Each structure stands twice: as structure tokens, then as C-alpha cells.
Amino acid sequence: MPSIAASFLLSAIVTWLSIRYARQRNLIDHPGQRRSHTQPTPRGGGIGIAAAAAIFFALPLFRVYPGFGAAAAALVGLILIAAVGWGDDHFSLAAIWRLLVHVVASLIFAVALLGQDGTIIVALFAFATTWSINLHNFMDGIDGLLGTQALFVFCVLALLGQHYAQPAYTLAMLALAAATLGFLPFNFPRARVFMGDVGSGVLGFLIAAAIGIGLDFGLLIPSEALIIVSAFVIDASCTLLSRMLRGRRWYSGHREHLYQWLARNQPSHARVVALYMAWNALVVVPALLAFEATAGYELLICAGVYALGVALWLAGKRYCLQSTKVRKIDHVPA
């Protein structure tokens, strides 16, 4: 489809231009204690995803949501999130201002999509969208992880749209997949540019918006949506809860996500990405297929996926801690 190819090309071209721009403006992330890379790398490449999504995600949905409906609200929210992320990539904005914009964008979209369902539903979805924006920002710390996860989510949602004969939704999801794919070669397996807050925030918002529209179309149910995004939700939520229980400043920067521990214990970021994609292939996809065959057991399947995910998160952290201790002992001078 021409719009899919155009989304890919626009994302790739803008990403390539962003590298030159970042070098000219000295928008460079240098290696540091809380970073997982070893070479100075430009940031802000996610502007390519934002540019392509702003055009090719909203356009097919305007046929379904005319006027200032969900499509227009999603476009407004995307622009707000991209703007504050772009600003943060340049000037390191205060967290409170970023969060305020996230909440406003999430509320605009939630009201447009679900306003008729009542205040509580709108508030819950706005909260979930805000959490998605920040969750995906937290999980954007190694080469290719967020891009491959977003690509997986959009492809699954596109397949659901195709399965339930919703061409506008399918086209919108394929456009998002193409925009993400246009960025990925610049970020994986070795990053020539980082996504930056402009990219991670936009992808977090778009994933929540895509799921919300899918729910509105009746293509999936909440427990199914939770399974699709389980890889990131489990890691981010378990890490946040763990820090809170240990009395840490949960809102401050850290390197305690499982993917960060794994990155310090694996020879390459690509191996860590492969582990997360293995979760999607070996757990998420079978669980989604089970939804089709076992109607009435959706909540049980979702609970099983999350129980398994938490167990693997705990086991993974334990393995990484033990490996770190072994390496320290091996390097003690005789």
C-alpha cells in the first residue's frame, strides 16, 4: 500500500536527517553511570517516527472518527507528546512539566474516545495512557528494545484488525509498524542514534491510543491488551514496586530494570532484545491464540501470563545478581 511505504520512507528520511541535526546541535548522549552504551551517540531520532505517525496513523482513522473525534484527539495528543519530548531532548525539562503535558494529552484522547462511557472510565484510561507514555520511556535504555517491542505490538494489532475486517484500523496499525521499522535500522543492532524522549513518549502514547481504539472497535478486550504489552508492563511495574518496597526514590533515575541487569550480563544488547522477543513469541502469541479456543477463561489466561512473567522477572534478577557476584570474585587479585 502506498501509505505504508510512505510512512516507512518518511520515518527513515527524518531519522537520518535528525542524526545530522543532533550532531550540529550537540544533542549527544555520553556514556555514564546510569547509561547502557559505551559510545557518544546522538539522540532525538524518534522524531522520524513521530513525523510519519502524525500523518499516516491519523488519516485512515478520520474515516471512522470524523470531526474532533478520537482520530483528531490522537493527533493532538501525539503532537503534544512529541513537542514536550523534543523539548526535553534539547533542554532537559523539569519532570513535572513533562508529566503535566502527558496528563493533558492523555485526557484529551480519553475524553474524545470514551467520554460517553463516564468519568471513571475516562479517568482510568487517561491514567493508563499516562503510565504507558512513561513506562515506554523507562524501557528505552538499550539498542533496539523499544523499537522491536513497538513493532511487535503494532503488527499484532494489525492482524486483529485484519481478522475482524476493520480496514481503517489495520491500515493505521501497519502505518505505525512501518514508521517504527523506518527508524529501527538506525538504532539496531548498533545504535547510530537514540530515540530520545520524543520517540519513546510518542510510542508509549501511540500504543495506548491504538489499544484504546481497538477496544472501541471491539477487536480485543482489556485482558487481551494486557497480554500483548506484558513484556514491558511486567518489567517496568515490578521494578517500580521493588524500588518502592525497598524505600528507594522510585521517581529518580536508576538501572534496575531487568533489561538493564541483563544488558550488563550479556555480551550484546541484541541478545537482551532476543530474550524479550522470545517472551512475545513463546508466551504472548500462544496466550492470544488460546483466547480464541477457550472463551470464558480470558482472565485466567491473563493472570497466568503475568504470574509467569513475575516469576521470570524474579529469577532473572537473581541470576544477574549471582553472575555479578561471581565476576567480582573472579576479578579479586590473588
193-204 pLDDT, tens digit each: 999 999 999 999
pLDDT tens figures, 62-88: 989 988 899 999 999 999 999 999 999
What string of DSSP letters covers 198-234?
HHHHHHHHHHHHHHHHHHHHTS--HHHHHHHTHHHHH
CA 155 centroid distance within chain: 13
List the grid coordinates of 10: 518518511
Cα–Cα separations (whole angstroms), residue 242 to 11, 169, 220, 226, 235:
37, 37, 30, 20, 10
List the grid coordinates of 176: 505505525
pLDDT at 227 > cutoff 90: yes
Q: Are 55 and 10 in contact (CB under 8 A)?
A: yes
What is the overall mean pLDDT for the chain? 92
Half-sphere exposure of 47 (CA within 13 A, CB side): 23
List the grid coordinates of 285: 502469541
What string of DSSP letters covers 43-87?
B-TTHHHHHHHHHHTHHHHTTTSTTTSHHHHHHHHHHHHHHHHHH
pLDDT tens figures, 138-194: 999 899 999 999 999 999 999 999 999 999 999 999 999 999 999 999 999 899 999
Q: Cβ atoms within 10 A of the Cβ of 131, count?
A: 18
Per-domain boundaries in the chain: 1-220, 223-334
Cα–Cα separations (whole angstroms), residue 261 to 38, 283, 320:
16, 21, 6
Angle at 267 between CA 262 and CA 270, to 5 degrees: 75
Check residue 296 and give its pLDDT: 81
Check residue 96 and give its pLDDT: 94
User: What single letter denotes the amino acid at residue 23?
Assistant: R
pLDDT at 10 > cutoff 60: yes
Q: What residues contact 251, with CB distance under 8 A and at least 6 apart?
A: 95
| Count of all residues that appear for the chain in the document | 334
- The radius of gyration of the chain's CA atoms, rounded to the nearest angstrom, is 20
Q: How far apart are CA 18 and CA 190, in angstroms?
A: 17
The candidate with the shortest Cα–Cα distance to 52, out of 175, 156, 225, is 175
Q: How far apart are CA 58 and CA 50, in angstroms?
A: 12
Q: Are 101 and 88 in contact (CB under 8 A)?
A: no
